[in-house]
Structure 1
Amino acid sequence: MDFDGVLHPVSAVKDWARDGRTLRELRYAPDKQLFRWLDRLVQMLDQYPDVAILVHSGWRTMSRDFELREYLGPLADRFIGSTSKSMQRYAGIEQVLSRIGTTDFVILDDATHEFPKNLPELIATDPELGLSEPGIQTRLQAWLDNPKDDLATHDEFVASSTPSC
């Protein structure tokens, strides 16, 4: 999962950079500029305890895994790691999925240029609307309601993944 353009507008990060605030300061700021749509994801995943979260966001290059986990708040227990910092997004996702043997997944991201064209697993968000967009919620819900039979459970995913820092 990406953070910028999914859990908050890309412009919120641009404002943060301009103001010179740290990620930690902005994450816990009362105005909740970042992660403003995290609650929507929490609600959507509530009935699906086997869904795990792999972070491929650019945030993985400036945060350690324990911080990425912390940013996910109520979804922290679903965090199973991040993709390699040295790999492009899709290649990193493929590497992790191959290692754990999972073929049932979706990718939430606003940066469509990072992925193969017409990738059915990509749920491409609008950079300023992210998960707040009803159409995106509908696509995610459709996947949640119709998982493939070979989906690795959260526990299998965690057991087969190696922590990265």
Structure 2
Amino acid sequence: MKYIQHLLLLLLSGFFLFLGCGSESNSSNESNSKQEVVLGKITLDNVWARPGSQQGKSAAYLRISNGTAAADTLLSFHSNAAESVELHESIEHDDGTTSMQPAGQQIIQDGEKLLLQPGGLHLMLINLNRDITVDDSLQISLEFARVGTVTTTAPVQIQN
């Protein structure tokens, strides 16, 4: 009888030890999966740029869609056609005139879009290193805090 009690106690101890290890491992897996962020894609579409002359300026427009699982911040820009690229915002004043000013970093929430369009936010291509004409194209790279650099080709065209 004592032998059976010891065997039963040993089996129960082993069973509880097994359950304890199993639940510990499950809880660590659950916490890892909750911390893991699945990255989708940042997509760029409706991309185009205005014509411009060498050493002059141009503007580029596009739609940025954040298809990732987290907000991302647009940090910087580059183009193979310009010395520098800045994010600007068009402002309409009370007297009907418009001007541009640099825009700060843009945070794009997950599932959201940021539209760069004439009369609003846009990329200023400053000090063009060549003439860019209709039917030409140029590359634009956008650097994001989370997903890194995304590059696209912008056809040069007149606004429709």
- TM tier relative to shorter chain: under 0.3
Higher fraction of helix = 1
Higher fraction of strand = 2
Q: Give the structure-2-normalised TM-score.
A: 0.23
Bigger RCO of structures 1 and 2 (CA < 8 A, at least 6 apart): 1
Q: Give the structure-1-normalised TM-score.
A: 0.23
Larger Rg: 2
